[in-house]
Amino acid sequence: MHDGCSGSFESGKEVVNKVRSMGFSTQFMPMSMTIDCVECGKAFEMNTFEDKCPHCNMVYAVVPCHAFDPSNVKAAGIDY
C-alpha cells in the first residue's frame, strides 16, 4: 500500500519523487491534459505522469490517482 492518494505533498519535487519511486514516471496517463507552464506561460500536452514543458524544460508530475484534474499537477523545477 502506498500513500500516493492519501498522502500530502509539500512541493512538486515530492510529487515527482513519489511518481518515480512508484515506477509511473514514464507511463501514459488515462487522458492527457493541457498544462499552462508556470515558468514560461506556454501551454503543452502532459501525456505521462511525469512530463516536461517542451519550451522551458519545467518538470511536472501528478500521482496516478489524482491524474483526473490539472489542478493536481505540480511543477518541480527546470530539468529536475
- CA 80 – CA 70 distance, rounded (Å): 20
Note whether residue 7 is domain-resident. Answer: no
Per the domain annotation, does 53 fall within a domain? yes
Assigned domain for 45 exists: yes
Q: How confident is the model at residue 9 (pLDDT cuts 50, 70, 90)?
A: confident
Q: Is residue 65 in a domain?
A: yes
What are the backbone dihedrals phi and psi of residue 54, each rounded to the nearest 5 degrees, phi first?
Answer: -70, -10
Cα–Cα dist 23/43, whole Å: 26
Its pTM surpasses 0.85: yes
Residue 31 lies in a domain: yes
Per residue in 11-31, pLDDT tens?
A: 999 999 999 999 999 999 999
> Residues 34-41: what's their mean pLDDT?
97
Tally of structural domains, the chain: 1
Domain that holds residue 45: 12-78
Residue 70 located in a structural domain: yes
